[in-house]
């Protein structure tokens, strides 16, 4: 069973391979990271670790039995007991419930280890898989957004009682 690990320095090579292998797959549903991301990956990885050390972000990788990175699940913009959730799962691992399980685990960590009360997420309307994961993990749609020119939905999950806060919108 894959395990969710907090991002570390030694994840760099496997994470870069994950991003390279799945680049076109991810670009079909979310904006591409661009060539600069890959050209300066090592510096970017170190910057993420430094940012994580501040407590303003919590980065995770979903690791398989052979230490292959199968996905990422991140909490960013941590502030006032809230954070934004983002995740991506490798094409080879899609459709197996890994995203749902990983998001459930990150929600538990967010409430327990990180002391958060609310998580936010966004996805495009045409990303049915992401909308399904969010719904299955207790997120509730609370409004519309535009993501790189594409229509999308904003979701919220209250980690205290598992629903959207009444003031969300």
Q: What is the mean pLDDT of residues 41-51?
A: 96
Token code pair at residue 104:
């459930």
CATH number of this structure's domain 3-158, picked from the four choices 3.40.630.30, 1.10.357.10, 3.40.50.720, 3.30.60.50 = 3.40.630.30
Domain range summary for the chain, segments of one domain joined by +: 3-158
On average, the pLDDT of the chain sits at: 92
Between 105 and 29, the more confident residue is 105
**pLDDT tens for each residue of 110-130:** 999 999 999 999 999 988 999
**pLDDT tens for each residue of 13-38:** 999 999 999 999 988 877 778 889 99
For residues 104-140, b (16+ Cβ closer than 10 Å) or e, as one string? bbbbebbbeeeebbbbbbbbbeebeebbebbeebbbb
Phi/psi at 20 (5° precision): -65, -50
């Amino acid at each position: 069973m894959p395990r969710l690990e907090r991002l570390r320095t030694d994840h760099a090579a496997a994470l870069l391979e994950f991003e390279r292998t799945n680049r076109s797959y991810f670009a079909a549903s979310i904006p591409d990271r661009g060539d600069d991301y890959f050209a300066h990956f090592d510096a970017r990885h170190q910057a993420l670790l430094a940012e994580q050390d501040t407590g303003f972000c919590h980065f995770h990788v979903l690791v398989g039995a052979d230490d292959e990175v199968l996905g990422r699940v991140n909490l960013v913009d941590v502030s006032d007991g809230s954070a934004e959730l983002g995740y991506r799962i490798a094409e080879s691992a899609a459709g197996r419930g890994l995203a749902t399980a990983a998001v459930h685990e990150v929600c538990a960590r967010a409430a327990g280890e990180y002391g958060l009360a609310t998580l936010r997420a966004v996805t495009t309307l045409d990303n049915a898989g992401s909308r399904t994961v969010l719904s299955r993990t207790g997120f509730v749609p609370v409004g519309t957004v535009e993501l790189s020119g594409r229509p999308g939905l904003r979701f919220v999950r209250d980690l205290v009682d598992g629903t959207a806060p009444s003031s969300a919108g």
